[in-house]
Structure formats: structure tokens, C-alpha cells
Chain A
């Protein structure tokens, strides 16, 4: 197994996550996609850490996991509130802050 394999897998996951963030209407799915992106980055970092014998990547990755957890908590709370107020989690309809 070479590094490239992991990088390609990571890139593939990241792009999938990116597609999901940008193109999906369901807010929960967007959050999931963001998780996917974050985990893709995690994979990337760990891969580099493993293959370059440097622990920095893993440390960084721990941070990201923490932040992702916090962020999902807050994000889901917000989506819950949006659902309570507008009975829908469709992001296309959540454009009240339009200029």
C-alpha cells in the first residue's frame, strides 16, 4: 500500500463530502457531508503521519475530531431549531437572510 492510495481515497471522500455540502437540500445531510469532509481530512493527515513518521498529523487529527464533534452538536441543535420553526429542514427554503 502506498501513500497515494490513501490520498486518493481521502480526496475522493472529500469531494463526495463537498458535493454533499453544496448540493444537498437536507440540512442533516449537509452536516453529514461536512463530517465526511472532516473525516477525509483526518484520513489524509493520519496517512501522512503514518508514512512520514511524524506524529503532528495525528495530533492535528485529534483536534479535528474534537472540533467536529462540537460542531455537529451545535449544528444539529440549530437544525433542530430550524425544524421547530419552519417544519422543514430544506436548506433552499432557509434564505431569510437574503440581501
Chain B
């Protein structure tokens, strides 16, 4: 399967067309096709995972360093030397243009098979979940078609061996995100959110376009392996790599919801919840992180990550952690809490990448996919059966733990995993980020990460409390959801518990790192050992977070002065409003930037077009017409025609003069004759004298 991994994206692509053309006519309205396709892809992905692990484990040690051609580095850990394991590459030249070959291919290594596993599993669970969640939906078939297309695009992105193919998949998932967020496009708000998502990510895609172009010219290839090898080689142009890394970072900022282009993610919650779980938690938004992980040497060299201190990537990631977490506190909509949480966690991943903690970042991606999808699907379950299709925690939820035990307990598992409580998955991955950041010389960001951990625990506790504790404030009849919904929750919960153990550093289990970290064309990274003190600190930060929040909520009555603080105190209120207005970023983007481009600037441009540019044209036309008119009036009529008419007039005038001689009286004529004769005679007489 490693050699034929192209089948894995191909199957959902085929199912897209099948559902599109035949879905409406078959009994399950296309859901069966989608589920079968994703199920098959999942099984095949598992086979690929197995084959890869096998490949890694059976790679005999001691491959000598004669492979200098690829500039690979031996990854050392302690005294162990990890043998080189080449990724499985297959490439087909699709076409060539001006001597450059474009192709499609697969690059199967640990990172790719891990993503295949995650994407296909969560997609499959979402497919199954959606049969109940979107039952009787107005566009059921269309939904499943787009889910298939999305899966195909995401998988294409994952297995891509060259940046162009990655770009195709990247934009494809953007398209499907647009279609799925705007799934209920009858409501203007939904289509606006879809547009916002597409436009914001497209703005980031400027970076992708330029970055891929720059990388092509730097490394003279679109092939990811070659680009990575070039980035680590001594002849690498650092300036070009810095430009490329910055541009790609822009793309990551857009796609992975980093500050300042994160504003589309919360609005994207307008789409159906399973879509949010799949796309905006587990798969599409991590495409940016995946890009960073795949092309890591570019960033490593471009941003000089190995030198510690601060760089663009780690800075953006750090900022994102905090602002995402802070915003999660003021949300009433449970999905928005989770959206901001996703932004914050993506910040962790990006920060980790920027701090040289590659394995930690990818591991966190892995674990986060499970527990975030779990949380989203749990929220969906709550809305489906608990709060009468509402997501407002304050108005329609509360005390649901009595009515929805499975949802409750799986949600708790997800929360604990997210907060980073031992022994759940999040603990291991988050901890590794913090430790590696500290060890690589990014101490400041270690602090940021710890603060983020505290905030994460606190806002999730608030969320859990508002949803599941207290009294039921809603209007529906809450009950547990059907198995089609709860079984995926349970499956994901199991993963949320167990997934962390793949890289439980405390127990010296590092299977994840062994299997996933690239050995070829990859920089030498720091792999710190498990640090008990730091672990204890981060655990206690999380615990304190939970404790403080829990105390605040459960013991609200005893808070006295703190209650209603934001309403009474002006400073607190201003701070609160600042958060509620999302730092006024949305106001800046939509009301200032977009509105001015769409409004005054566009209108101004059009005004210039009509009244300046076109004025020249119309002016030329009018001027020509005026010139013509003047020429006609003065030159033609007065001068040329004047001459013609003048001639006639002179003739007529002279005729008129001659009229006087024609008196009609014969005697007059006789007089003229005799006068003339007399004159002549006189002349003759004179002449002859």
C-alpha cells in the first residue's frame, strides 16, 4: 500500500462523482457511498501505517554516511544511532512545459502515513455521525459529495511529493470548506461566513503562491525532497529561503488560523458541526502545520530556528496561543469556545515548529485531532439531543450531565486531554512542546505555553460547567443521542486517552518520534528527555486553571464582590468588551479594510474609470465631433462652399446688373445700337485723321 498510496485519495474522489451524479437516486442518498469509500480508505491507511512501521523497525542500523547526496543527518538520541529510512517515492510526469517537469506523486513517510490515518479515521467517523446529525437535511446528498471531495483533496495534500500537488490539495480543501461552511446558504450569515473563510485563507494563499515560486527558483524543482535537501545543503541561499519561509508562513497564518488571520475560524462555525469537527479542528486547519512540518528545512534555514531566541514563526504561534485562549472566555456559543480553543492549540503547534520542536508539534497535531474532534462532535451531540439545536450555553444548556451521560463523560475525557492532564493524550504532547521549547533556547515561549495551559484548563472548565452542570435552562427535552452519534464519541475518547502513550516520554516510549520523524533531509533537532519538574509545573498550571475556574463557577454565590465585576467596573468592562469584540480585529478587517476596498476604493477606482480614463475616450470622441462640427461650419460651409456659392452669386449679381440694359423697349435698343455706331464712326474718324 505504501507504493500504491495514490489509491487512498482516489477512492473519495471517485465517490464524489458517484454521489454527485447518482446520490439522489439511491436509498441512503449517497451516504452509503461516502461511508464505504472512507472506510476503504481508512483500512488502506491502516495497512500503510503498518507497512511503514514495519519498514522503520526492520531498517537495519549502520547504513553508512555515504549518502551525502541527500545531505541527510543522523538523528542521535543518547547513544543510539537511528538508521536512515527513506520515504517511499513514486512520481509520474504529468506534463512538461518549457523543459520543466510537472508531475503528481506520492511521498510516503511517517508524517504522511500518520496524517492518512488521522484524516481517514476522523472523516469516516464524521461520515457515520452525519447520517444522524444531518438526517432529513435539505442538501444531504450534496453534503456527502462535498465531504468526499474534501477528503480526497486533503489526502492529496497529505501524500503530495511536490509543492504544486500540495497547492492543488490546499486550494481544494479551501473550496470544500467554502461549500460546507455555507451549507445552509439560505441564511445570509452562513454564506458570509463561507466567503470570509475563503477570502481570508486566500489572502494567506498569496504567500503560498509566491513561496512556492521562490522555492522553485531556489531549488530548481517542485519536489519536496529536493527542496528540503537544498535547504540543508551548504549552497542554500539563505536570503531566498527567508523570503520563501516568510511567504509560506503567511499561508500557514491564513490556513491554520494564526493571528492575525484567525478571524475566519470562529465564523466558520456556521457550518454543520460534523464539518467543524472534521475540517476546522482536525484536518484542514492543520494543513498549514502540515506544510510547515513537511517543508521544515526551509523554515529551519530561513528563520534560523536552530539559533534560539525569537523568530517569526514562534512569535506568531505564541501570540496566537494567548489571544485564542483569552477570547474563549467570553463566548456563549459552545462551538465558538472550541473554535478559539482550536486557534490556541494551532498556536501551540506553530510555536513548537518555530522552536525546533518538530516531533512535539506533529505529535500535538496527532493528539489534538482526536480530542478536538471529540469535543466538537460532543458539542454536536449536545445540540442534537440536548439543547434543541442551539449552541448557546447560557441560554439553552446546563445540567445536561444527568440526561446525556455518554456525551458528558466523553466530553470530560476530551476536556482533560485538551487541558493536558496526566495521563490523557494532551498532557504528553503539550508537555513535550514546553520542554523542547525550553531546551532549544526559547525560554520566553515556554512561559507563554505555560500561561496558555492555565488558560486552556480554565476556559474549558467554564465551558463544561455551563453546559453540563447547574440547572437546565433550555426549552427542549434533553436525552442521550443515538448510537450513531455516541459510538464515534466513544471511539475518539479511547484515542484521546491512549494516543498519548505513543510518545510517553516519561515511560521512555518514543514510538511516535521513531516512526514519524523524517531521517532524510532533516535537520538535527534537540530531543530533550522527559523533564519531571517542568511536567509537574505544567500539570499544576492546568490543575490550578481547572481549580480556579471551578471555584469561580461552582461557588459563584460566595464570590460576592467578583460577581458581576465586568458590569460594574469600567476598566474590567472595557477589557471584557475588548474581548467580546475580538480585539476589534474583525471590525478592522471587515469594517475598515474589506469595506473600504469593496466600498470607497472600488467605487473610487470605478469613478476614475468612468470619469478620468473614459473621460479621455469620450473627450476624444467629443473633441473629434466638435472639431468636425467646426470644420464643417467654418471651413466647409464658409470657406469652401463660400467660394462655390460666391461664384454663383457674382454671376447672378452681374446678371442682375445687366438686366438694366434689357428694358424691353425696342427704341432703347435702337438707341444703344446707334450710339455704338456713332462711337465707332467717331473713333474711325479720329483714327484716320
Contact = CB atoms under 8 A, between A and B. Distances in A.
Q: Do chains A and B touch in the complex (CB under 8 A)?
A: yes
Interface string A10-35: 00000000100111000000100000
B667 A23 contact: yes
A22 B667 contact: yes
A91 B663 contact: no
B666 A99 contact: no
A98 B659 CA distance: 8
B570 interface: no
B661 A99 contact: yes
A1 interface: no
Interface string B647-689: 0000000000011111111110011001000000000000000
B674 A18 contact: yes
A98 B662 contact: yes
Contact of B674 (A22, A92, A95): A22
Contact of A22 (B660, B661, B663, B671): B671
B667 A97 contact: no
A96 B670 contact: no
A91 B664 contact: no
B656 to A, nearest CB: 9
Contacts of B666: 30, 91, 94
A99 B665 contact: no
Contacts of A22: 667, 670-671, 674
Interface residues of B, number: 13
Contacts of B671: 22
A98 B663 contact: yes
B661 to A, nearest CB: 7
A30 B659 contact: no
Contact of A98 (B658, B664, B667): B664
Contacts of A94: 664-666
A95 B661 CA distance: 12
Contacts of A91: 665-667
Contacts of A18: 674
Contacts of B663: 95, 98-99
Interface string A85-96: 000000110111
B483 to A, nearest CB: 124
Nearest to B666: A91
Contacts of A99: 658-664
A88 to B, nearest CB: 14
Contacts, number: 34
B652 to A, nearest CB: 13
Given A99-B658, A99-B659, A21 B664 contact: no
A12 B671 CA distance: 18
Contacts of B665: 91-92, 94-95, 98
Contacts of B667: 21-23, 30, 91
A89 to B, nearest CB: 12
A24 B351 CA distance: 136
Contacts of A23: 667
Interface in A1-59: 18, 21-23, 30
Contacts of A97: 662, 664
A28 B3 CA distance: 141
A21 B670 contact: yes
A92 B663 CA distance: 10
A22 B672 CA distance: 10
A39 to B, nearest CB: 17
B673 to A, nearest CB: 10
Contacts of A96: 664
A97 to B, nearest CB: 4
Nearest to B658: A99
Interface in A53-95: 91-92, 94-95
B646 to A, nearest CB: 23
Contacts of B660: 99
Interface in B620-670: 658-667, 670
B681 to A, nearest CB: 13
B97 to A, nearest CB: 93
Contacts of B658: 99
B168 to A, nearest CB: 99
Nearest to A34: B670
Nearest to B661: A99
Contacts of A92: 665
B55 to A, nearest CB: 126
Nearest to A25: B667
Nearest to B655: A99
Nearest to A27: B666
Nearest to A99: B662
A18 to B, nearest CB: 7
A18 B675 CA distance: 11
A92 to B, nearest CB: 7
A95 B664 CA distance: 4
Nearest to B671: A22
B672 to A, nearest CB: 10
Top-10 shortest CB links A-B: A99-B662, A98-B664, A95-B664, A99-B659, A97-B664, A95-B665, A22-B671, A22-B667, A21-B670, A91-B667
7 contacts: A21-B670, A23-B667, A94-B664, A94-B666, A95-B665, A98-B665, A99-B663
Interface of B: 658-667, 670-671, 674
Given A22-B667, A22-B670, A99-B660, 17 more contacts: A21-B667, A21-B670, A22-B671, A22-B674, A23-B667, A30-B666, A30-B667, A91-B665, A91-B666, A94-B666, A95-B663, A97-B664, A99-B658, A99-B659, A99-B662, A99-B663, A99-B664
